[in-house]
Amino acid sequence: MSYLEIERIDARHGLLQAVREVSFGVEKGEIVAFVGANGAGKTTLFRTIAGAHPATAGRIRLDGADVTALPDHVRVRQGLALVPEGRRLFSRMTVYENLILAREAGRSGRWDLDAVLDTFPNLKNRLKSKAGNLSGGEQQATAIGRALMTNPDVLLLDEVSLGLSPAAVARVYDSLQALIEAGTTILVVEQDLNRTLSIANRIICMLEGQIVVQGAVAEMTREQIMDAYFGLHRTNRENNA
């Protein structure tokens, strides 16, 4: 069994089935990127894994333990942390308060305030600023820092570079190197395919709530990924024909 095991997960928004029988496993320390057009179900899947959205069927296991029925704050204590699309900081609270609140919600470990500020030095003189007054890059750093303060084993990053300047995106991705070196398991949704290919070990392509193609980055072509993105996926046999 894999470290994170997702087994036939369904998730709905009312009548709409946004995630359909999605199954995959992630090994400890692996970096898996999810690719797919808007509406493919990536955000719903991430929220379901983190416990922020209910699964209507299926099982989620972390390190052998079934977490499917656990609420999100309990999953955080088990080592699952989500950096949600759109950051969702407490905008009227300071950066310091956002980070400290997360520390209390999570577990102790190598990520404390000093470690987060070493990773995101641009937050050092923003600690007393209200999160709502920060630049996009500073907000994203705070959102990732907040997740790190919970000392996750598995970090889910949903579109962390959305709306950031190229320089801020580069800073965010540089900071992820520290996590990768620490052996954190990372699931990431990223629209920029070049960035995705540069950090991920494995790619999972989603279309209309389902996984259509997946494989090791080294074994997938850009064409296969783009075909899956646009719904033109072919089987390996068809590709080799």
Site residues for ligand ATP per CB under 6 A? 13, 16, 18, 36, 38-44, 85
Ordered DSSP codes for 163-175: T--HHHHHHHHHH
Distance of CA 24 to the CA centre of its chain: 15
Q: Closest approach of Cβ 38 to ligand ATP, in Å?
A: 4
Return the number of the residue (153 or 158) whose C-beta is nearest ligand ATP.
158
**How many beta carbons lie within 10 A of that of residue 95, not counting itself?**
28
For 148-200, strand residue ranges (E) read 154-158, 185-189
Closest approach of Cβ 51 to ligand ATP, in Å?
Answer: 15
- Write down the least CB distance from residue 159 to ligand ATP, Å: 7
Q: For strands 80-83 and 154-158, give the pairing.
A: parallel
Closest CB to ligand ATP among residues 54, 183? 54
- In angstroms, what is the minimal distance from the CB of 42 to ligand ATP? 4
Please, which residue, 17 or 184, has the CB nearer to ligand ATP?
17
- Which lies closer to ligand ATP via its Cβ, residue 97 or residue 227? 227
Q: How many CA atoms does the CB half-sphere of 18 hold within 13 Å?
A: 20
